[in-house]
């Protein structure tokens, strides 16, 4: 059942096509080493967290541009059929191409395909969860 769910999620990731969602080109399971390998597009500046640690002062216009890109990616995911909820959106899961001022949402490994009215399980990074999740 877990392997079936994994293949389902990998298939989902391959079908997502949006300029603000990280592209997944290929994947394979290495059974001998118990690894799952992904080939994605390259991001020259790493994650948003890494970028912000390296560049303490960032122009507010750049930050606004990043926010718009992230929101466009979220609108795409939530408007997908079936809707996709990232469930662990944080600076470590936003990837940056500093030269182009481009950010993309990545690490959709915890993403839930929303088949019902809401996600059934509580997952993600506790520090970034909405308070109502704890109720």
- Active site residues per annotation: 107
Q: For residues 89 and 96, give the distance between their C-alpha atoms in angstroms, rounded to a whole number.
A: 14
Burial class (CB in 10 A: 0-12, 13-18, 19+), 89: buried
The C-alpha atoms of residue 130 and residue 64 are separated, in whole angstroms, by 22
């Amino acid at each position: 059942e877990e392997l079936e769910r994994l293949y389902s999620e990998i298939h989902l990731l391959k079908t997502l096509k949006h300029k603000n969602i990280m592209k997944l080109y290929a994947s394979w399971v290495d059974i001998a080493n118990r690894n799952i390998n992904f080939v994605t597009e390259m991001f020259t500046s790493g994650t948003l967290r890494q970028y912000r640690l390296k560049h303490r002062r960032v122009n507010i216009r750049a930050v606004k541009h990043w926010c718009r890109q992230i929101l466009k990616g979220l609108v795409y995911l939530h408007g997908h059929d079936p809707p996709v909820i990232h469930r662990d959106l944080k600076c470590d899961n936003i990837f940056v191409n500093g030269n182009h001022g481009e950010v993309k949402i990545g690490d959709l490994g915890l993403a839930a395909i929303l088949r019902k009215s809401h996600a059934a399980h509580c997952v993600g990074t506790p520090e970034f969860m909405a308070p109502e999740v704890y109720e």
